[in-house]
Amino acid sequence: MKRRNGVLVLALLSVVLLGACTAATEAPQEINDEPLPVKVTYQRMWEESASGESTDPEVIQALLNGLDGLKIGAETNMAVDDFGDIIRFEYPDGTVKTYEFEGDIIVKEDGTRNEVEGLKSLRELLNTLIEVK
């Protein structure tokens, strides 16, 4: 009887976890009780410039997740030319949040610079926004 109850508990737990995973993939989640941005704009300023934008909630959520996955390191004074990325998220109320990167450095709003790990994955996502001309 104990084994049967254990199997039943495991089966119910699996159903609950599967339901939670399915729900998490069905709709983008709001982060920190903030609404999801309604638009993302990307500007690549490398040797050759490119840009793109999206209003797709799944794309926006994937980019937010990519930003959350970055590891911010030590502060640095290094600056990089000809290798910049600017990502702008526009929210329903019209406010805009901007992220700026130079090489493997994030440039914060106050001008401080920090080394960043994980930009390769984020840049791969950003490449999907670039319009082919």
pLDDT digits (tens, 9 = 90+) for 32-45: 567 899 999 999 88
Better pLDDT: 36 or 24: 36
Please determine, for residue 94, whether its predicted confidence score (pLDDT) is greater than 80. yes
Q: Which of 75, 69, 80 is nearest to 123 (CA)?
A: 69
Please determine, for residue 8, whether its predicted confidence score (pLDDT) is greater than 90. no
Better pLDDT: 89 or 33: 89
What pLDDT, on the 0 to 100 scale, is given for residue 131?
64
Strand-pairing partners, residue 52, are 42, 130
What pLDDT, on the 0 to 100 scale, is given for residue 61?
95
**What's the rounded mean pLDDT across residues 61-69?**
94
Residues 6+ positions from 102 with CB-CB distance below 8 Å: 79, 80, 81, 83, 84, 113
Domain ranges of the chain: 1-30, 32-127
**What's the rounded mean pLDDT across residues 85-112?**
93
3-class state of residue 52 by DSSP: strand
